[in-house]
Structures are given as structure tokens and as C-alpha cells.
Structure 1
Amino acid sequence: MTRLLVVLLALPIMLLAPARASAGTDPVGVWPLAPEPEVVARFDPPEEEWGAGHRGVDLLGAPGQQVVAALAGEVSFAGSLAGRGVVVVDHGPTRTTYEPVAASVAVGDVVAAGARLGALQPGGSHCLPRACLHWGWIEGAETYLDPLRLVGGGPVRLLPLWRDEPVGAAPLAPRSPYDGWRPLVALADLFA
């Protein structure tokens, strides 16, 4: 009977829990601001854990704009830290952070992906006089990850120059290093 009660109590948490990422894959999340915001500052982790860097991304928003959870999880912090409102949501081995946010959730709240966490505050923003959400993603104690990976916006992958032809159609040994090269934008388009 006790075991059945524990399973029944845990069921809502299991239904809201994020899908576990298998080795080499990231969970699929949602943007914490809607519509999809402009990325004002990208992820730039420090070379040493104590060094300078940008341990998250800054997303352009508007004061009072709704901030939502990128992944399902449990709120582990909701309050003021260094004069800024901060919300932290745990997702098992990782957690996401949101600041500056006036929290509408409390520690222990279980939230679904896309659930309201609070409102974006203008004070404490990294990009004053504009309002920006600093969004972070951390694994373990202090391993910072690029949160854009949660929404498919991680590192840029370069495509080969013959990108509009099948890989097998590219010559094995081009006659010149510039064979097959095409400009990404025509000069006439830049001045139109």
C-alpha cells in the first residue's frame, strides 16, 4: 500500500519531468521569451572557471514580459540575489537560470516546459537601458552549457562549398581551390 502511494504521488512529477537526453543529445526546450527573442549576447564561457566570460545568453525582451521555463522541472530558487530577481529550475542533472525576473513561482513548485516563472525586470539587466533576460544552463556543480542548444541554436556548423549539390556530386580533387565556390550574397543584392 505504501509503495503504491509513493508511485501515485510521484506520477505528476514524472509526467512533467523533461525527457532525459541520451549520450550526445540535448533535451528539447522552449524559448523562455515569446516570440523568439533576439540574442543580444551569446554564450562565451571562461577558459578557467574563475575567469571572465559570459556564462549564458542575453535575450532581448520588454519590462514586464512573461518569462517561462525552458524545460520541465522543479523550482529550486526564486528570490533576490545580488539585487536581482533570480529563478532557478532543476531538471535532474542540469538546471536553468533566469534573471532579472520578478518570480511568480516558489521553491518546490513543479513546472512544465513553457510554464510561467515570472516577469522580466528592467533593473539588473545586462543590456540597460533595454531589458534583457540572462538565461543560463548548468550541469552538475559548475559546468556551464550553452542554453541555445535547448532550442536548436547552439554552435554554428559550416557547410561545404558545394552545399546545394549532393556530397557524392562534389569532385574528389578540384582543379583549383576555388572550383565550385559561389558567393553567399551577390554584390548587387547588397546595394539594392
Structure 2
Amino acid sequence: MLLVITTLLPAGPGPAGGATEWRWPLRPAPQVLRPYDPPAHPWEAGHRGADLAARPGQAVYAAGPGRVGYARDLAGRGVVTVIHGRLRTTYLPVRATVRPGRVVKAGTRIGVVEGVLGHCGQVACLHWGLRHGLSYLDPLILVGRAPVRLLPWWDDDPTVGMTPP
């Protein structure tokens, strides 16, 4: 999984020809109230995003350049998704100020935090999600705040690389 994430993040050239610059969806950089906590299996309960401290009415910004894919209520909460090539970020509860199809830059205002309590208990928060296809990823990796996990690398043949040149 680590290899997949590191190959996705540069995301290739951005709109100006440089690498994509990712930003926090709130300003200033918020406190993380609840980190990403994926389930062991896709069908189990888990926390598939990060909850960020926010106040109702606070502006929400696109974390990277892309195109708005969804911007309306879903199950009584406002949701905005931005498609960034193979990645998709999700923001909720947000009262959208953008419409689906709109092209946005990193830092474009996409809405404001709604005063909906429940997801973070008795405090308002912004739930920020990240997906690659059907796989959820830790959105904090976009801003360099996700924990690093080193995974073992096993070759099919344990003697590969052990023979002197």
C-alpha cells in the first residue's frame, strides 16, 4: 500500500505544469480531532477520513486542483467532492458555494462548514476524506501529516541481490 500512495501523491503536472500542491481545507491549519482509522476489512466499521476542528460558517477550501464532482445535500448534510484525476477528496458537512463541473484550484473556496452536530459529538467539525477508486486513504498524507508506515519488501527469490557482481 505504501508504494501505491507514494506514486499517487505527486499527481503529475498541475494546471500550471508543476507538481500538485496540496493544502489544508481549513485556514489556519486545524487541529485533528479524530484521525483516519481504517477497518481491517472493507465491510467493517472504521473512520474513513479525518475530522478537523471547525466552527459553523467557517470557509472550506479545495485541498488541490480538480473538478467538483458533487455539491449538495446527502442524508441531511451538505457534501462536496472534488475529483483530482485518480484521487477524490470529500468534505462534509458543507454548504456548497460551488456547482458540480466547476474547475477549482487548490485553495478555491468551495463552501462553509454547516452547524450540524453529531459526527464529532457536541462540537462542530469538518470530515475530510480521500479516495483512490474504491480505496479510502488517509487525507492527512496530502499535507504531510499522516503517520508513515514502513512495510517489508520481499522478493520471490531471497538470493536476488546477494550475488557479487
TM-score by length of 1: 0.67
Please tell me whether residue 100 in structure 1 is matched to residue 93 in structure 2. yes
- How many pairs were matched up? 137
1:44, distance to aligned residue in structure 2 (A): 0.6
Judge conservation of contact 1:99–1:135 (CA < 8 Å) in 2: yes
- For residues 61 and 148 of structure 2, what CA distance do their matches in structure 1 show? 25
Partner residue of 2:73 out of 59, 69, 80: 80
1:157, distance to aligned residue in structure 2 (A): 6.9
- For residues 131 and 141 of structure 2, what CA distance do their matches in structure 1 show? 12
> What's the counterpart of residue 15 of structure 1?
15
Partner residue of 1:128 out of 113, 118, 121: 121
Any idea what the Cα deviations from partners look like across 1:18-41, whole Å, max 9, x if unmatched? 83xxxxxxx541000011100000
Any idea what SS the aligned residue of 2:15 has? helix
Match runs of 1:1-192 below 5 Å: 15=15, 19=19, 28-140=21-133, 142-156=134-148
1:130, distance to aligned residue in structure 2 (A): 1.2
Judge conservation of contact 2:94–2:111 (CA < 8 Å) in 1: yes
1:128, distance to aligned residue in structure 2 (A): 3.2
Structure 1 unaligned regions, length at least 5: 1-13, 20-26, 159-192
Q: Whose relative contact order is higher, 1 or 2, with alpha carbons under 8 Å and at least 6 apart?
A: 2
- For residues 111 and 64 of structure 1, what CA distance do their matches in structure 2 show? 20
1:129, distance to aligned residue in structure 2 (A): 2.0
The structure with the largest alpha-carbon Rg is 1
User: Partner letter of residue 144 of structure 1?
Assistant: Y
User: Partner letter of residue 107 of structure 2?
Assistant: G
Any idea what SS the aligned residue of 1:150 has? helix
> Percent identity of the aligned residues?
53
Q: Which runs of 4+ in 1 moved over 4 A?
A: none
TM-score by length of 2: 0.77
Any idea what SS the aligned residue of 1:95 has? strand
Structure 2 unaligned regions, length at least 5: 1-13, 151-165
Any idea what SS the aligned residue of 1:15 has? coil
1:42, distance to aligned residue in structure 2 (A): 0.4
Bigger share in helix: 1
Judge conservation of contact 2:72–2:79 (CA < 8 Å) in 1: yes
> What's the counterpart of residue 156 of structure 2?
none
- For residues 112 and 102 of structure 1, what CA distance do their matches in structure 2 show? 19
Any idea what SS the aligned residue of 1:133 has? strand
Query: Cα–Cα, structure 1 residues 97 and 34, in superposed 2: closer, same or farther, change >3 Å?
Result: same
> What's the counterpart of residue 9 of structure 1?
none
- For residues 121 and 17 of structure 1, what CA distance do their matches in structure 2 show? 35
